[in-house]
Amino acid sequence: DAKTTQPNSMESNEEEPVHLPCNHSTISGTDYIHWYRQLPSQGPEYVIHGLTSNVNNRMASLAIAEDRKSSTLILHRATLRDAAVYYCILRDYGGSQGNLIFGKGTKLSVKP
Amino acid sequence: EPEVTQTPSHQVTQMGQEVILRCVPISNHLYFYWYRQILGQKVEFLVSFYNNEISEKSEIFDDQFSVERPDGSNFTLKIRSTKLEDSAMYFCASSEALWGSGGGTDTQYFGPGTRLTVL
pLDDT exceeds 80 at position B69: yes
Instruction: Please provide residue A82's backbone torsions phi and psi, each rounded to the nearest 5 degrees.
Output: -80, -5
Cβ contact, residue pair A98, B35, below 8 Å:
no
| Strand-by-strand arrangement of the A55-56 sheet | A18-23, A70-75, A61-64, A55-56
Residues B4-22 pLDDT 10s = 999 999 999 999 999 999 9
Residues A28-65 pLDDT 10s = 888 889 999 999 989 999 999 999 999 999 999 999 99
Predicted local confidence at residue A99, as pLDDT? 81
Q: Is B54 on the interface with A (CB under 8 A)?
A: no
Share of residues in chain A with pLDDT > 70 (%): 94
Predicted local confidence at residue A101, as pLDDT? 87
Nearest to A99 among B42, B48, B110 (CB): B48
Cβ contact, residue pair A99, B98, below 8 Å:
no
3-state secondary structure of B12: strand
Report the pLDDT averaged over residues B42-49. Answer: 94
- How far is the C-alpha of A84 from the C-alpha of B42, rounded, in Å? 14
